[in-house]
């Protein structure tokens, strides 16, 4: 019996994605009011969840570890210095062995093929904790934040502007946007735009009849025009450190500032989001720490997203209800 995995938001129907968001929000409300929902209490009791990280992490590590603990499970953190993950042993061997001993694997890897390989050979659910292509747990948290901020009924028809590197965080966010009827405009410099195959996958995620659009430009102001939410991420993702000088040069002019939003014509009351970790080159302090910023509630929502994903994929074995 093949387990169901969460490798990308593309793995979810729009209805399943919405359900994961509602579950995250309702669990957040219950737990914050001091009540652990019966759907979660002790549901991972006696179970070990392997958290396999080949890269650094603050939010993903803390949120997944805390999420497992909140359901009574044991989060077993395995960093790159602890286990063979893509080094000294095939991913096939690692996956078969670890999945024979735990109830799920949460994995942060380099190339997406690594987490796909783990999933292919695993006898238990695998949740992608960031690969070169996708970051589904981040997108769940981002949409919980968007729903909380704008109201659930007002999400459809919003416009998101992504200004910066077309990377893993963007790809799942764009898929989420099209599934939820949200327009997404991407401004990235030439050479750092969405690869053709990824663009196809993003476009294919819009349900039939959806009018939500993905648009691309090299001009930040064009993406910003009429947008409700401005989003960015680091220009130098983990593993790209050697390209730093080249990237800083290529992205000059892409910093999110009040001035850019004004020049581009963002909607009144526009808000700012960032998955973190943040560097000042992609967004200045005024925006990042200002009243428009959603970055800290967004980061907190990583916990509720992790709880919701573990409930759906581990407790309920991929039945998202
Ligand atoms: N946003 C995010 O995934 O952060 P970490 O790399 O700190 O986990
Ligand atoms: N794009 C970043 C996201 C980190 C959460 C990276 O891949 O390093």
Q: Active site residue: 115, 177, 275, 309, which one?
A: 275
Same domain for 209 and 111, yes or no, is: no
CB distance 276 to ligand 1 below 6 Å? yes
Kindly tell me the sign of the dihedral angle through the C-alpha atoms of 57, 58, 61, 63: negative
Same domain for 40 and 150, yes or no, is: no
As a whole-number percent, the residues of the chain with pLDDT over 90 amount to 98
**Each residue of 150-170: pLDDT tens digit?**
999 999 999 999 999 999 999
The total domain count for the chain is 2
Q: How far apart are CA 71 and CA 45, in angstroms?
A: 7
Same domain for 16 and 144, yes or no, is: no
**Model confidence at 70: pLDDT above 90:** yes
Same domain for 73 and 161, yes or no, is: no
Instruction: Supply φ then ψ for residue 40, to 5 degrees.
Output: -115, -35
Residue 162 belongs to some domain of the structure: yes
**Each residue of 170-213: pLDDT tens digit?**
999 999 999 999 999 999 999 999 999 999 999 999 999 999 99
Tell me which residue of 107, 103, 139, 141 sits closest to 304, measured CA to CA: 141
Please report which confidence band the pLDDT of residue 86 belongs to, taking 50, 70 and 90 as the band edges: confident
Please report which confidence band the pLDDT of residue 1 belongs to, taking 50, 70 and 90 as the band edges: confident
CB distance 64 to ligand 1 below 6 Å? no
Q: Which two tokens stand for residue 1?
A: 């019996």
Q: What is the extent of the structural domain holding 168?
A: 138-299
Residue 71 belongs to some domain of the structure: yes
Q: Which two tokens stand for residue 50?
A: 């392997």
Residue 2 belongs to some domain of the structure: no
Residue 3 belongs to some domain of the structure: no
Distance 237 CA to ligand 2 centre (A): 5
Sheet holding 183-187: strands in order across?
214-217, 183-187, 159-163, 229-232, 271-274
Same domain for 295 and 311, yes or no, is: no
Tell me which residue of 273, 274, 161 sits closest to 216, measured CA to CA: 161
Same domain for 152 and 278, yes or no, is: yes
224, 252, 272 from 186: Cα distances, Å: 9, 16, 15
User: Terminal CA-to-CA distance of the chain, rounded, Å?
Assistant: 20
Residue 1 belongs to some domain of the structure: no
Residue 189 belongs to some domain of the structure: yes
Distance 321 CA to ligand 1 centre (A): 27
Same domain for 284 and 166, yes or no, is: yes
Residue nearest ligand 1's atom 7 by CA: 58
CB distance 275 to ligand 1 below 6 Å? yes
CB distance 167 to ligand 1 below 6 Å? no
Same domain for 66 and 85, yes or no, is: yes
217 pairs with which residues across the strands?
A: 187
Q: Which two tokens stand for residue 192?
A: 């750092």
Q: Domain of 52: which CATH number?
A: 3.40.50.1370
Closest ligand to residue 302's CA = 1
Work out which ligand 1 atom sits closest to the CA atom of 58. Answer: 7
In this prediction the ipTM stands at 0.99
Tell me which residue of 94, 110, 115 sits closest to 8, measured CA to CA: 115
**Model confidence at 266: pLDDT above 90:** yes
Distance 240 CA to ligand 2 centre (A): 10
Q: How far apart are CA 128 and CA 134, in angstroms?
A: 8
CB distance 308 to ligand 1 below 6 Å? no
CB distance 57 to ligand 1 below 6 Å? yes
| Cα pseudo-dihedral 202, 205, 209, 212, rounded to 10 | -40
Residue 320 belongs to some domain of the structure: no
**Each residue of 131-142: pLDDT tens digit?**
999 999 999 999
Same domain for 92 and 217, yes or no, is: no
Per-residue pLDDT at 84 = 86
Q: How many CB atoms lie within 10 A of CB 136?
A: 28
Residue 27 belongs to some domain of the structure: yes
Closest ligand to residue 65's CA = 1
Work out which ligand 2 atom sits closest to the CA atom of 169. Answer: 1
Distance 135 CA to ligand 1 centre (A): 9
Task: Tell me whether residue 177 is one of the annotated catalytic residues.
Answer: no
Q: Which residues surround ligand 2 with Cβ inside 6 Å? A: 130, 167-169, 233-234, 237-238, 275
Work out which ligand 2 atom sits closest to the CA atom of 165. Answer: 1
Same domain for 291 and 220, yes or no, is: yes
Distance 76 CA to ligand 2 centre (A): 22
Please report which confidence band the pLDDT of residue 250 belongs to, taking 50, 70 and 90 as the band edges: very high
Same domain for 95 and 215, yes or no, is: no
Same domain for 125 and 204, yes or no, is: no
Per-residue pLDDT at 87 = 87
2, 6, 26, 84 from 97: Cα distances, Å: 16, 20, 36, 11
**Each residue of 276-286: pLDDT tens digit?**
999 999 999 99
Q: Which two tokens stand for residue 80?
A: 């790159």
Distance 165 CA to ligand 2 centre (A): 10
51, 139, 141, 304 from 307: Cα distances, Å: 14, 14, 11, 5
């Amino acid at each position: 019996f093949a387990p169901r995995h969460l490798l990308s938001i593309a793995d979810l129907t729009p209805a399943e994605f919405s359900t994961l968001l509602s579950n995250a929000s309702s669990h957040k409300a219950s737990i914050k009011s001091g009540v652990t929902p019966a759907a979660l209490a002790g549901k991972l009791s006696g179970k070990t969840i392997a958290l396999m990280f080949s890269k650094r992490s603050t939010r993903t590590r803390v949120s997944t570890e805390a999420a497992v603990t909140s359901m009574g499970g044991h989060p077993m953190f395995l960093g790159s210095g602890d286990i063979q993950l893509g080094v000294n042993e095939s991913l096939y061997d690692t996956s078969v062995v670890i999945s024979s001993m735990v109830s799920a694997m949460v994995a942060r890897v380099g190339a997406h093929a690594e987490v796909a390989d783990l999933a292919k050979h695993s006898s238990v659910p695998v949740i992608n904790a960031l690969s070169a292509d996708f970051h589904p747990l981040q997108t769940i948290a981002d949409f919980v934040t968007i729903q909380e901020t704008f109201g659930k009924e007002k999400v459809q028809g919003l416009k998101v502007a992504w200004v910066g590197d077309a990377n893993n965080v963007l790809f799942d966010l764009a898929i989420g946007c099209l599934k939820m009827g949200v327009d997404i405009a991407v401004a990235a410099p030439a050479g750092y735009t969405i690869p053709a195959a990824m663009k196809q996958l993003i476009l294919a995620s819009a349900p039939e009849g959806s009018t939500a659009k993905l648009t691309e430009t090299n001009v930040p102001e064009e993406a910003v025009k009429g947008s409700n939410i401005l989003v960015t991420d680091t220009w130098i993702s983990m593993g790209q450190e050697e390209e730093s000088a080249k990237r800083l040069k290529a992205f000059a002019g892409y910093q999110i500032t009040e001035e850019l939003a004004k020049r581009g014509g963002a909607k009144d009351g526009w808000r700012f989001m960032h998955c973190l970790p943040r560097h000042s080159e992609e967004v200045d302090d005024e925006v990042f720490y200002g009243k428009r910023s959603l970055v800290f509630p967004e980061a907190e929502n990583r916990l509720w997203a992790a709880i919701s994903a573990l409930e759906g994929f581990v407790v309920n074995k991929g039945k998202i209800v």
